[in-house]
């Protein structure tokens, strides 16, 4: 029996993984070869998807990117353990994978994401097992000691957030997972939900035990139907194995989860807007205070964290708080799953300790652009992140280092653009996106973004360029300091960074085209 | 796809609402369920949701109109969503979107006159490392190029 692994991750399916899996089954049937195909998550080496792996006594051997036309010769090579043009060797030895420090993504792409047995066979539920032997205070101490900061973008210390909820008294408390990963260039939440959903469930369960909550919600965006399906299947599996529901793992604790699906509003990634949406309302941002930790979902104390924050918890609780905090730099401890996207040769998920430089990530790990043209700009941290030119490629991946250069790491997504990019157009897009997605509650965001689009249009038409650039800068200043949440408050990052680093693009179109030549 | 949906029927609508109205914060869940059954959220369902959840009709209308996902009328038989966010822009998505618009003779956000195809923008499918990407009736497609977008458009038109 040959055990073959093919990803069911949406990114792999989008480039033909389902067809490859089907072709493998058919080809094996025709030859009378017994095979078992395990549908895993993705290893995150997307330029090699569809990636096909086979279990051997020396570890899994990878082949990729596999097309259905390759399947016949692939089966021969796998059966004979022989050479093949797509053979990549032992998967774990592929340099791109080997260079990583996979703590959160250790199992992603390795296990069957819907199998509790597979999860447990790969160190799953060890964190929960230890948490069940600890007091609430001891769990909180571990999370605090790990130095984990919220991976959604704001970087708030997770331990402090949990402690606030633990110390609040209420008839009910909630654990909410923010899986509204709307930032372009980010897909780590999607990958872990499709590749290792039980680690998120385990993290949320530990949170429930630590703060005294018995129910939780995972709010997943509707653009992620594959993640919704896998997460629901994993919840069912955890429930049937006694890891969700009453008396978890035979303990006195109860905890259960439900998936809720968003409806295409980007602003619902903002935590208070998400809570409104979960309550069945328009996703209008709430003023803070009160903090969700005091008055969150349905007015109850609520832990609301990003998918990756919860996913980091099991490793930490399994005894890894010290190990986790040993990684990283400054106040950014542990590892960050960095996502390389856009016009990039080797795009995918690269989990590594904080401190790696932007240049290493783009040129060395990412291999430059897919188009082969020079890299001109990279946007880090999603639609609200700054555009950095090559001159800033020495910036280390660290919350404070990016902030010092008027940028942010956000959720860890990096989108690469080559020299054909028009940065005035990108700045306009940032304003337009904000205008469309604004919840409308505060004026700087709602009106400022619309005025921003109009003013950038004037600049692009060559109307009083200098004066209108001053207007855009002034608008950005108002939005940055006057908006209620990060949507209006951070839209200035891409706009101002484009203006600052790529000023030659802001003017009448013909001038820009000449400048590009 | 429209043919796969049920025509609006008040009793069936009431049944769907009753399946979910005991949930905490049920409004979005109900709107999704109605759209899944009927392909859009028929106007007569709004006061029915309001009554079931003890909300005002205005509140439910407000929720319905806040979110991009909820349709006010049926979509075309096939829905082709093109990712228009930054990662796909960086990978040449602008030109491919323009190509799809030209082939179908409609702008993004519209349905062809024969009601076969609805072409929509989507802001990030999370397939940013295999960009540009699209979704045809729930099926995801990545690494789009001119040939692939042409094939997708042709498939949607069938």
Convert the pLDDT of each residue in A300-321 to its tens digit.
999 999 999 999 999 999 988 9
| Contact (CB, 8 A) for A214 and A205 | no
On chain A, the residues whose CB falls within 8 A of the CB of B85 are: 184-185, 383
Residue of A14, A66, A421 to mutate, interface with B, max B Cβ within 10 Å: A14
Query: What is the rounded CA–CA span in Å between residue A456 and residue A475?
Result: 11
Query: Contacts of residue B86 in chain A, CB cutoff 8 Å?
Result: 184-185, 342, 379, 383, 415, 426, 429
Q: Is A511's pLDDT higher than 70?
A: no
CATH dotted code for A2-98: 3.40.30.10
Which residues in chain A have their CB less than 8 angstroms from residue B125's CB?
Answer: 10, 14, 223-224
**For chain B, how many structural domains are there in total?**
2
The partner residues of B119 in beta bridges, in order of sequence, read: B80, B110
Say which CATH number the domain at B138 has.
3.40.30.10
Distance of CA A163 to the CA centre of its chain: 25
Shortest Cα distance, chain A CAs vs residue B112, angstroms? 23
Work out the angle between the directed axes of helices A197-211 and A136-146 (0-180°, nearest 10): 130
pLDDT in tens, A119-174: 999 999 999 999 999 999 999 999 999 999 998 888 899 999 999 999 999 999 99
What's this model's pTM, rounded to 2 decimal places?
0.96
> Above 60 in pLDDT, residue A29?
yes
pLDDT digits (tens, 9 = 90+) for B24-46: 999 999 999 999 999 999 999 99
Cβ atoms of A475 and A488 closer than 8 Å: no
Q: Report whether pLDDT(B1) > 80.
A: no
Question: Does residue B53 carry a pLDDT above 50?
Answer: yes
Q: Element (H or E) spanning A198, and its range?
A: helix A197-211
A480 token code pair: 């940055």
- Nearest C-alpha of chain B: how many angstroms from A262? 8
Report pLDDT for B90.
97
Q: How far is B115 from chain A (nearest CA, A)?
A: 23
Query: What's the start-to-end Cα distance of chain A, in Å?
Result: 59
Q: In sequence order, which residues have a C-beta less than 8 Å from that of residue A342 and are 6 or more positions away?
A: A185, A379, A414, A415, A416, A417, B86, B87, B88, B89, B90, B91, B128, B131
Assess whether B122 and B144 both reside in one domain.
yes
Q: CA of A188, closest CA in chain B: separation in Å?
A: 9
Average pLDDT, integer, range A99-115 = 97
- The secondary structure of residue A196, as a DSSP letter, is -
Same domain, B89 and B58: no
Distance from CA of A46 to the nearest CA of B (A): 6
- Give the Cβ contact number of residue A466 at 10 Å: 9
Quick check: B130 and A278 CB within 8 A?
A: no
Q: Let me know whether B101 and B60 are in one domain.
A: no
The first and second tokens of residue B32, run together, are 């999704």
Q: What is the pLDDT of residue A311?
A: 98
Q: Tell me A330's DSSP state.
A: T
E strand intervals along A195-269: 215-220, 256-261
> Which residues, 6+ apart, have CB-to-CB distance to A471 below 8 Å?
A451, A455
A331-418 fold = Ubiquitin-like (UB roll) (3.10.20)
Which value does ipTM take for this structure? Answer: 0.97
CA-to-CA distance for A452 and A166, rounded, in angstroms?
Answer: 43
Interface residues on B facing A, Cβ-Cβ cutoff 8 A = 24-29, 31-32, 53, 59, 62-63, 66-70, 85-92, 122-131, 133, 138, 140-143
What end-to-end distance do the CA atoms of chain B give, in Å?
11
Cα(B133)–Cα(A323) distance, rounded to whole angstroms? 38
- Do B129 and A46 lie within an 8 Å CB cutoff? yes
| CB < 8 Å to B128, chain A | 184-187, 339, 341-342, 347, 413, 415
3-state SS, residue B83 = strand
Q: What pLDDT score does A189 carry?
A: 98
List, in order, residues 6 or more apart from A404 with CB less than 8 Å away: none
- Closest residue in B to A342 (Cα) is B87
* Chain B: closest CA distance from residue A339 (Å): 8
Residues B83 and B46 in one domain: no
Question: Does some domain include residue B71?
Answer: no
- Cβ atoms of residues A487 and A438 within 8 Å: yes
Which runs of consecutive H residues, i.e. helices, occur in A83-196? 95-98, 116-121, 126-131, 136-146, 158-167, 188-195
Contact B28 A260 (CB under 8 A): yes
Based on the fold, state whether residues B53 and B83 are members of the same structural domain. Answer: no
Convert B43-68 to b/e letters by CB count within 10 Å (16 or more is b).
eebbebbbebbebeeebbbebbebbb
Domain A116-326 has CATH 3.40.50.11540: yes
Rounded distance, CA B42 to CA B31, Å? 10
Partners of residue A15 in chain B, C-beta under 8 Å: 130, 142-143
Distance CA A75, CA A81 (A): 9
Question: What is the domain range of residue B100?
Answer: 78-157
Residue of B nearest to A375 (CA): B90
B84 and B152 fall within a common domain: yes
User: Do A398 and A354 contact (CB within 8 A), yes or no?
Assistant: yes
Q: Mark yes or no for CB contact A379/B86 under 8 Å.
A: yes
Question: Which tokens sit at A34?
Answer: 């017994």
**B31, B66, B101 — which closes off a domain?**
B66
Extents of the domains making up chain A: 2-98, 116-326, 331-418, 423-516
Q: What number is the average pLDDT over the span A363-372? A: 97
Q: How far apart are CA B68 and CA B120, in angstroms?
A: 11
Range B102-106, long-range pairs (CB < 8 A, 24+ positions): B103/B150, B103/B153, B104/B153, B104/B156, B104/B157
Structure tokens belonging to residue A302: 């609520």
């Amino acid at each position: 029996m040959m055990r073959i692994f093919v990803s069911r991750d949406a990114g792999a399916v989008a480039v033909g993984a389902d067809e490859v899996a089907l072709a493998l089954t058919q080809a094996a049937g025709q030859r009378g070869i017994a095979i078992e195909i395990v549908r895993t998550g993705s290893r995150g080496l997307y330029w090699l998807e569809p990636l096909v792996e086979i279990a051997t006594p020396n570890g899994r051997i990878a082949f990729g990117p596999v097309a259905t036309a390759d399947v016949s010769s692939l089966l021969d090579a796998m059966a004979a353990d022989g050479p093949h043009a797509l053979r990549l060797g032992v998967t774990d030895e592929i340099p791109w994978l080997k260079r990583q420090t996979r703590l959160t993504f250790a199992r992603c792409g390795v296990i069957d994401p819907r199998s509790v047995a597979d999860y447990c066979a790969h160190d799953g539920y060890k964190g929960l097992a230890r948490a069940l032997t600890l007091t609430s205070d001891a769990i909180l101490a571990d999370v605090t000691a790990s130095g984990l900061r919220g991976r959604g973008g704001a970087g708030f210390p997770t331990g402090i957030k949990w402690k606030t909820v633990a110390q609040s008294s209420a008839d009910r408390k909630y654990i909410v997972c923010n899986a509204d990963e709307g930032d372009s260039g980010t897909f780590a939440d999607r990958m872990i939900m499709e590749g290792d959903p039980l680690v998120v469930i385990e993290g949320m369960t530990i949170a429930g035990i630590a703060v005294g909550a018995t129910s939780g919600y995972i709010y997943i965006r509707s653009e992620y139907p594959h993640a919704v399906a896998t997460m629901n299947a994993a919840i069912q599996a955890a429930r049937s194995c006694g890891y969700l529901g009453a008396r978890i793992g035979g303990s006195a604790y109860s905890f259960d989860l439900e998936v809720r699906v968003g409806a295409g509003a980007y602003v619902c990634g903002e935590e208070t807007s998400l809570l409104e949406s979960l309550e069945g309302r328009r996703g209008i941002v709430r003023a803070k205070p009160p903090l969700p930790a005091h008055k969150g979902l349905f007015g109850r104390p609520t832990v609301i964290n990003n998918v990756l924050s919860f996913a980091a918890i099991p490793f930490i609780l399994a005894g890894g708080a010290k190990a986790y905090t040993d990684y990283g730099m400054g106040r950014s401890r542990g590892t960050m799953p960095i996502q390389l996207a856009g016009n990039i040769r080797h795009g995918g998920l690269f989990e590594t300790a904080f401190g790696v430089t932007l240049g290493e990530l783009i040129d060395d790990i990412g291999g430059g652009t897919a188009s082969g043209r020079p890299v001109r700009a990279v946007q880090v941290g999603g639609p609200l992140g700054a555009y950095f030119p090559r001159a800033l490629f020495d910036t280390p991946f660290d919350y404070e280092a990016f902030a010092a250069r008027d940028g942010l790491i956000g959720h860890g997504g990096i989108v690469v653009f080559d020299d054909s990019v028009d940065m005035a157009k990108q700045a306009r897009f940032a304003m337009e996106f904000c205008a469309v997605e604004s919840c409308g509650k505060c004026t700087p965001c709602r009106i400022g973004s619309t005025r921003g689009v109009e003013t950038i249009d004037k600049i692009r038409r060559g109307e009083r360029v200098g004066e209108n650039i001053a207007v855009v800068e002034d608008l950005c200043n108002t939005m940055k300091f006057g908006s209620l949440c990060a949507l209006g408050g951070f839209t200035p990052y891409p706009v101002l960074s484009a203006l600052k680093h790529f000023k030659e693009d802001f003017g009448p179109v013909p001038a820009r085209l000449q400048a590009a030549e | 796809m429209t043919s796969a949906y049920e025509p609006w029927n008040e009793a069936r609508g009431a049944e769907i609402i009753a399946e979910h109205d005991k949930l905490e914060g049920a409004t979005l869940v109900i709107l999704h369920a109605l759209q899944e059954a009927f392909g859009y959220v028929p106007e007569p369902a709004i006061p029915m949701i309001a009554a079931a959840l003890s909300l005002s009709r205005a509140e439910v209308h407000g929720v319905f109109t806040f979110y991009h996902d909820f349709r006010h009328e049926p979509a075309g038989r096939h829905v082709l969503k093109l990712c228009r966010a930054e990662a796909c822009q960086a990978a040449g998505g602008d030109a491919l979107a323009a190509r799809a618009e030209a082939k179908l003779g409609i702008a993004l956000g519209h349905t062809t006159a024969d009601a076969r195809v609805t072409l929509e923008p989507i802001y990030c499918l999370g397939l940013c490392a295999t960009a540009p990407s699209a979704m045809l009736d729930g099926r995801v497609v990545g690494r789009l190029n001119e040939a692939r977008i042409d094939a997708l458009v042709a498939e949607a038109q069938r």
